[in-house]
Structure 1
Amino acid sequence: MIPELGHFALVMALVLALVQAVVPLVGASRNNPSMMAVARPAAQGQFVFVVFAFACLTWAFINSDFSVRLAAVNSNSDTPLMYKITGVWGNHEGSLLLWAMSLSLWTVAVSVFSRSVPQPFLARVIGVLGCVSVGFIAFMLVTSNPFDRLLPGAAEGRDLNPLLQDPGMIIHPPLLYMGYVGFSVAFAFAIAALLTGRLDAAWARWSRPWTIAAWVFLTAGIMVGSAWAYYELGWGGWWFWDPVENASFMPWLLGTALIHSLAVTEKRGAFRSWTVLLAIGAFSLSLLGTFLVRSGVITSVHAFATDPARGMFILGLLVLVIGVSLLLYAWRAPRLTGGGSFGLVSRETTLLGNNVLLAVVSASVLLGTLYPLFLDALNMGKISVGPPYFEAVFVPLMTPVVVLMMFAPFLRWKNDKVDAVARRLAPAGVASILIGVGGAFAIGHPTWRTMLGLTLAAWVVLASFQLLASRLRERAGATMSSRLSTIPAAWWGMWTAHFGIGIFIIGVTLVSSIDANLDLRMKEGDRADFAGYSFNFKGVERIAGPNYDASRATIELSKDGKLVDLLTPEKRVYRAMGMPMTEASLNIGPFRDIYASLGEQLPEGDWIVSLHRKPFISWIWAGCILMALGGIFAAADRRYRRLAERSAPKGAAQQAI
């Protein structure tokens, strides 16, 4: 009965999504306040029904109701509770329901926290979000009903994919989906701006905090997914250029460009057309990621569906979104007047250059991701585009992005002088080169990639501290606490995120340059010396987990005769599926990780053991955390919390058409 209630709730959510999509948009076009007022209650009602449907599906998993096909395929009576809950979205249908719930949550948040936005504009925003909801809920009900029954019900479930039975999977998909779906809000604001003709500073100010929030979620989701791959897959990698990893990275790149473009539109009234196109592009790439995961055109741990009909449905939705958006843009573009002018040497120019480069990087990743699919679809053979291509393209394009990133805050809006900027930044630039080259020789890896990475990292860190010192000198007579407290949250957000990129680059450069690994055979009593540590293999014991059997090794990690840690890597076999899994064991430090994984047992009784030293790898995720914190600071700036609408700068407002 409860699954049927969940299905009914989805039908009701679709009805309310249709109301949300049609009535407010018609009301806004007719300037009818009563029809526009339907937007909020329709969005909130849809949210209630989608959450109820999600709760019903969760109930089926928790209670092992194997008459529900989804629970029978993705759960088991012995599955631990938290992985039963994870199993709700660890599949195609459930992940779509999570997507729909995330979208309805974003819509409710917009309806509640955007009361300063004029009603006609907000009605259009919520209406556009309703159109997106209609597409996804209809997709679920027509092709991917999560409440399909098995008659008769299965006696036992197949269990959740063991790869997904990890604490990281509890938060990775929800964070990622909140990021993906969050860009639909930026898209809705852009479409509403095109419909009204209001592409001005006020529109940018309304849209920017939502865009930043989506970017924060996506950053956190990518970070958690990378950390999960690092410790779960058993060989210490953290990024694989997997097509679905790329599918999350591409909207992140365009989202980064969009945040900066919105800042220019808000401050100077420039880049309005560019900003709209970035908003459309970021959401379109989010939909493309959904297509890649759901269509079965790729093979990946992320890919769930193999039904081509499902892929065609999403592909059709993607084409519809892009087509309608670009037609609307083409219709409005000739009527848009130019924004604020700026000189060649200005903050606007550097931000524009970076935005173009980020878009080119995203397009390059898109090409490498889709090119093998096109060849396969045209029966021209199967090829694999891997890390060599992506790294060869990514590094040269991102290098000027990082350089310009730290130039922009030192430049004035509208116009500046080259010699003045050069004098301010020359010390940091020279010091960065010396640190990069000297550091590469110091670690014994003087390759051009290592020198470049360390130089860029030093450039970001040194320029960040120089920028902070310059900001603090503006109020030289005040106390330090007073000077710090008067700096806006948005500035702190920019500084923290940029500093985080520097930390991230340090981690990537060093772990790519000087990591070390060793594969060896070990039996009880064996000892190996590696990376300055001693590894004493104490033996292997058999243990029984809640839904798996495992062989657990105990390895004493020592340095200079002192015990540092006990490493306990495991080799698991999950009972329901008979699938083997490797569970690595890590000793985590601020400057290195020691990583051990257990391979197969050999006929002689020895075990294959893989040992890794990963220098500074935790700095990768520390940098990501700082980036996300920077986004939170920026979104929390007080100007976004003001209820009264400020007037746009002269030349920035575009009259409604």
Structure 2
Amino acid sequence: MITELGHFTLILGFGVAIFQMIVPMIGASKGWRGWMSAAEPAATAQFLLVAFSFAALTHAFVTSDFSLRLVTLNSHSAKPMIYKISGVWGNHEGSMLLWLLILVLFGACAAWFGGNLPATLRARVLSIQSAIAVAFFAFILFTSNPFVRLAQPPFDGQDLNPLLQDPGLAFHPPFLYLGYVGLSMSFSFAVAALLEGRVDAAWARWVRPWTLAAWVCLTIGIALGSWWAYYELGWGGFWFWDPVENASFMPWLLAAALLHSAIVTEKRESLKSWTILLSILAFGFSLLGTFLVRSGVITSVHAFANDPERGVFILAILAIFLGGALTLYAVRASSMVAQGVFSSVSRESALVMNNILLAVSAFVVFVGTLWPLVSEVTMGRTLSVGAPFFNAAFTPFFVGLAVILPPGAILAWKRGSLKKAMSSLWAVLALAVAAGALTFALQTGRSALGPIGVVLGVWVVAGAMMDLWTRAGKADVGARVRRIRNLPRADWGKFCAHAGLGIVMFAIAGLTAWEAEDIRTANIGDSFTVRDVTITLESVDQVEGPNYFSQMAQFTVSKNGREIATLHPEKRVYPIAAMPTTEAGIDNGFLRDIYLVIGDKQADGGYAVRTYIKPFANWIWGGAILMAIGGLISLTDRRLRVAAGAAKARSKMVAAE
């Protein structure tokens, strides 16, 4: 009964979404306040209806209702409860319902917290947001219904994909969808502004919190996915330039560019058309990522390999919304005249350069991701574009971004002086170069990538610190510290985000340059040395888990004769899914990880063992967390709230009248 109610509320939500898509838009064009105000209760009703539908599906998974086809295909009665719950979105249909839930949640938040937006703009934003919801309601109901019943339910289910039975994958998709779908708000604001013919500083301030919230969630989601791949897949890496990884990385890059572009629009009323374009493209790339994951056109450990019909439906959604928005953009582009002017040496110019580097980086990833598909369709040739291409083509743009970040943040608005900005950064530059030179001297005979990473990391992190220091003005140390404590939260957020980026860049360079790898066959009792640690294979036992069987090894790790860790890498087999997985044994350290993987038993009775020494691995995720914290701190700044910008804009308009 609950399942049928969930299906019914989903259909009812579809009807409400159609109403919200049409009525407020007509009201905004006609100036009918009653019709415009209908958007708010409709948005709330949509959210409540979809939330009930999602709760009904969750109930079916938790209670192991195998009369539901989706539960049968993706769950099992012996599965731990956390994976029964995560199984709701560990499949195509359930994940799309989660996508829709988040989409209508953002629309409801715009209705709940957008009270100070102009009535016509809010009505149009909610109408466009609902139009996106209508498309995904239709997609779910007509091609991906999660509430299909089985005429003859089985005794038990087929279990969830073993790779997804992991805490990292339990939380990774929700955060990723919050980021993907959150960019729909930037899209809705952009299209609404184009319809109104008004893009100004107030609009830029309204769109920034939504974009920032989406960017923060994308950052967390990408970091969780990277962390999961690192310890679960047993490959020893954190990023593989997989097409689905790229599908989330491209919107992240464009969202970062949009955040910085919106600052220029807000401060100087410049880059209006570029900011609108980024708002459209960021969500467009989110839709592109959805198409790549669910169309079956690519092969990936992350992908939902589904029939092409669903891919065509998503491609149609992408074409309608992206094509329609870009057409409207082309029509309105001439009216978005920049009002503010600025020098070629200014913070605005640095932000423009920042945007160029981020946008080109996204384009490089886009080309590398889709080129194999284009080549196969147009030329009949099967090509593989892997890490060497992305590392060579992508890295220079991010190096350039790191170089301009500290001086760009310190330059004055409108007309700055590079000499003045660098006067406070010469010490930072000297420190960065000295750290790089010291690293180069200590790592005799190794790659130059490590020292370059050290230079860039110190340059960006210390430059962010110097930016805070200079904002405190000229005073004694005590007064400066007090002023720094009282700086706006947006300044502290910017510091954390930039410092986090510097840490990530250093950690990636250090890990790539200095990691050690050892592959061998080891018998029980054998010891071997990798770098400065000695590793001994103590035992290999057969262990039974709640829904799997495991070959678990025990290794002791010692240094200078003292035991420092005991690790238990596993080789699991899930009998229901008939699928093996690898569980790495990792000794996490502040400066390095010791990473062990146990393989199959060999003909001589030994076991294949892979060992990695991975310096600064945890700094990658620590830096990503710091970036996300920076975004969250900025979101708490009163100046970035939607209502603050709207109220300020309204008071100016009243005064002008």
- The verdict on a shared fold, with TM-score over 0.5 as the criterion, is yes
Distance 1:575 1:62 in 2: 21
Does the C-alpha gap of structure 1 residues 280 and 475 become closer, same or farther in structure 2, counting only changes over 3 Å? Answer: farther
How far did residue 557 of structure 1 move? Answer: 1.4
In structure 2, the residue matched to 1:147 is: 147
Deviates more, 1:178-187 or 1:150-159: 150-159
Pair 591,331 (structure 1): closer, same or farther in 2 beyond 3 Å: same
- Whether 1:457 and 2:453 are equivalent positions in the alignment is no
Question: Residue 442 of structure 2 corresponds to which residue in structure 1?
Answer: 442
CA contact (8 A) 2:472 2:481 kept: no
Provide the secondary structure at the position in 2 that maps to 1:500. helix
2-side partners of 1:595 and 1:201: how far apart? 50
Kept in 1: contact 2:75–2:158 (CA 8 A): yes
Q: Which amino acid aligns with 2:272?
A: R
Equivalent residue pairs, number = 654
Amino acid in the other structure paired with 1:3: T
Once structures 1 and 2 are overlaid, which stretch shifts more, 484-493 or 148-157? Answer: 148-157
Residues 445 and 47 of structure 1: CA distance in aligned 2, closer, same or farther (over 3 Å): farther
Question: Does structure 1 conserve the Cα–Cα contact (< 8 Å) formed by 2:295 and 2:308?
Answer: yes
Aligned twin of 2:136: 136
Alignment check: 8 A CA contact 1:236 1:595 kept: yes
Structure-1 separation of matches of 2:622 and 2:440: 22
Name the aligned partner's letter for residue 23 of structure 2: V
Q: 1:596-650: per-residue Cα shift (whole Å, max 9, x none)?
A: 111001133211111111100111011101110111111111113454735569x
Q: Which residue of 2 aligns with 1:645?
A: 646
The 2-side partners of 1:223 and 1:475 are apart by 40
User: Following superposition of structure 1 onto structure 2, how do residues 182-201 of structure 1 map, counting pairs within 5 Å?
Assistant: 182-201=182-201
The question of 1:578 aligning with 2:578 is answered yes
Retained in 1: the 8 A contact 2:399–2:456?
A: yes
Match of 1:179 in 2: 179
| TM-score normalised by structure 2 residue count | 0.96
Do 1:437 and 1:446's aligned partners in 2 also have CA atoms closer than 8 Å? no
Distance 1:603 1:58 in 2: 46
Contact map agreement 1:440 1:454 (CA 8 A) in 2: no
Q: Report the alpha carbon displacement of residue 135 of structure 1 after superposing the two structures with TM.
A: 0.5
Distance 1:327 1:5, change over 3 A: same
Tell me the equivalent position of 2:94. Answer: 94
Q: Judge which range, 9-18 or 482-491, deviates more.
A: 482-491
Moved more, 129-138 or 417-426: 417-426
Q: Does the 8 Å contact 1:445/1:514 carry over to 2? A: no
Report what 1:16 is aligned to.
16
Identity of aligned residues (%): 46
Structure 2: how far apart are the matches of 1:630 and 1:246? 23
Inter-partner Cα distance in structure 1 for 2:423 and 2:565: 50
In the other structure, the counterpart of 1:283 is 283
Q: Distance in 2 between matches of 1:69 and 1:373?
A: 32
In the TM superposition, residue 116 of structure 1 has moved relative to its aligned partner by 1.5
1:206 partner letter:
W
Q: Which amino acid aligns with 2:119?
A: Q
Give 1:379 deviation, angstroms.
Answer: 5.1
Name the CA distance, whole Å, in 2 between partners of 1:304 and 1:475: 59
* Residue of structure 2 equivalent to 1:385: 385
Q: Distance in 2 between matches of 1:243 and 1:74?
A: 24
2:238 aligned counterpart, secondary structure: coil
Q: Which residue of 2 aligns with 1:628?
A: 628
Residue of structure 1 equivalent to 2:396: 396
Taking structure 1 as the reference length, the TM-score comes to: 0.96
Q: Mark the CA change 1:608 to 1:91 in structure 2 (over 3 Å): closer, same or farther.
A: same
Q: Is the 8 A contact 2:186 2:211 kept in 1?
A: yes
- 2:248 is aligned with 1:238: no
Superposed displacement of residue 95, structure 1: 0.8
Alignment of 1:422-433 (within 5 A): 422-433=422-433
Q: Which residue number in structure 1 is paired with residue 31 of structure 2?
A: 31
For residues 51 and 80 of structure 1, the distance between their equivalents in structure 2, rounded to whole angstroms, comes to 24
**CA displacement at 1:477 relative to structure 2:** 8.1
Unaligned runs of 5+ in 1: none
Moved more, 148-157 or 12-21: 148-157
Alpha-carbon RMSD across the aligned residues, in angstroms, is 2.0
Deviation per CA, 1:456-508, whole angstroms, max 9, x where unpaired?
Answer: 11211221222222223445486466323320000111111001111111110
> Which residue number in structure 2 is paired with residue 269 of structure 1?
269
Does the Cα contact within 8 Å between 1:271 and 1:339 map onto a contact in 2?
no
User: Hey, what's the Cα distance between the residues in 1 that align with 2:565 and 2:58?
Assistant: 39
Q: How far 1:454 sits from its partner (Å)?
A: 2.0
For 2:646, give the aligned amino acid. Answer: E
Tell me by how many angstroms 1:352 deviates.
0.3
Q: What's the secondary structure of 2:551's corresponding residue?
A: strand
CA separation in 2, counterparts of 1:27 and 1:643?
25
Mapped partners of 2:598, 2:634: distance in 1: 44
**How many Å separate the matches in 2 of 1:502 and 1:42?**
44
- Asked if structure 1 preserves the Cα contact closer than 8 Å seen for 2:497 and 2:626, the reply is yes
1:298-349 deviation per Cα after TM superposition (whole angstroms, max 9, x unaligned): 0111111321110001101101111110111112111222220001100000
Partner letter of residue 162 of structure 1? Answer: P
Does the 8 A contact of 1:340 with 1:652 survive in 2?
Answer: no
> Which whole-Å CA distance do the structure 1 matches of 2:28 and 2:295 have between them?
36
Q: Residue 359 of structure 1: CA displacement?
A: 0.7
Question: How far off its partner does 1:49 sit?
Answer: 1.0
Query: Which stretch shifts more, 417-426 or 126-135?
Result: 417-426
Matches within 5 A, 1:41-190: 41-190=41-190
- For 1:488, the aligned partner's letter is P
Cross-structure match for 1:523: 523
Aligned equivalents of 2:475, 2:193: Cα separation in 1? 39
The residue type paired with residue 35 of structure 1 is W
Paired AA for residue 269 in structure 2: G
The answer on whether the counterparts of 1:272 and 1:339 sit within 8 Å (CA) in structure 2 is no
**Aligned partners of 1:370, 1:542: CA distance in 2, in Å?**
43
Change (3 A) 1:652 1:399: farther
The alpha-carbon distance between structure 1 residues 643 and 471, as it changes in their structure 2 partners (threshold 3 A), is closer
Tell me the SS of whatever aligns to 1:146. coil
Measured in 1, the distance between the counterparts of 2:418 and 2:532 equals 49
SS across alignment from 2:270: coil
Q: In structure 2, how many angstroms separate the alpha carbons of the residues matched to 1:445 and 1:646? A: 61
CA contact (8 A) 1:200 1:652 kept: no
Describe the shift of the 1:445–1:246 C-alpha distance in structure 2 as closer, same or farther (beyond 3 A): farther
* Aligned-residue offset at 1:419: 2.7
Q: What is residue 536 of structure 1 aligned with on the other side?
A: 536
Amino acid in the other structure paired with 2:461: V
State whether residues 597 and 611 of structure 2, in contact with CA within 8 Å, keep that contact through their aligned partners in structure 1: yes
1:507-518 mapped onto 2 (5 Å cutoff): 507-518=507-518
Distance, in Å, in 1 between the alignment partners of 2:561 and 2:74 is 47
Kept in 2: contact 1:347–1:411 (CA 8 A)? yes
Q: Which amino acid aligns with 1:598?
A: I
* 1:79 positional shift: 1.1
Query: Quick one: structure 1 residues 42 and 156, their matched pair in 2 at CA, closer, same or farther if it must change by over 3 Å?
Result: same
Match of 1:307 in 2: 307
CA distance in 2, matches of 1:547, 1:247: 32
Q: Equivalents in 1 of 2:10, 2:56: separation in Å?
A: 11
The 5-angstrom pairing of residues 335-414 of structure 1 reads 335-378=335-378, 380-414=380-414
Distance 1:371 1:609, change over 3 A: same
Shift of residue 451, structure 1, vs aligned partner: 3.2
Q: Do the aligned partners of 2:543 and 2:552 also contact (CA within 8 Å) in 1?
A: yes
Q: Is the 8 A contact 2:450 2:514 kept in 1?
A: no
Q: 4+ residue runs of structure 1 moved beyond 6 angstroms? A: none
Q: Report if aligned partners of 1:551, 1:572 keep a CA contact under 8 Å in 2.
A: yes
Q: Alpha-carbon deviation of 1:431?
A: 3.3
User: 1:441 and 1:109 mapped to 2: Cα distance?
Assistant: 55
Using the alignment, how far apart are the partners of 1:115 and 1:610 within structure 2?
Answer: 58
What letter corresponds to residue 239 of structure 2 in structure 1? W
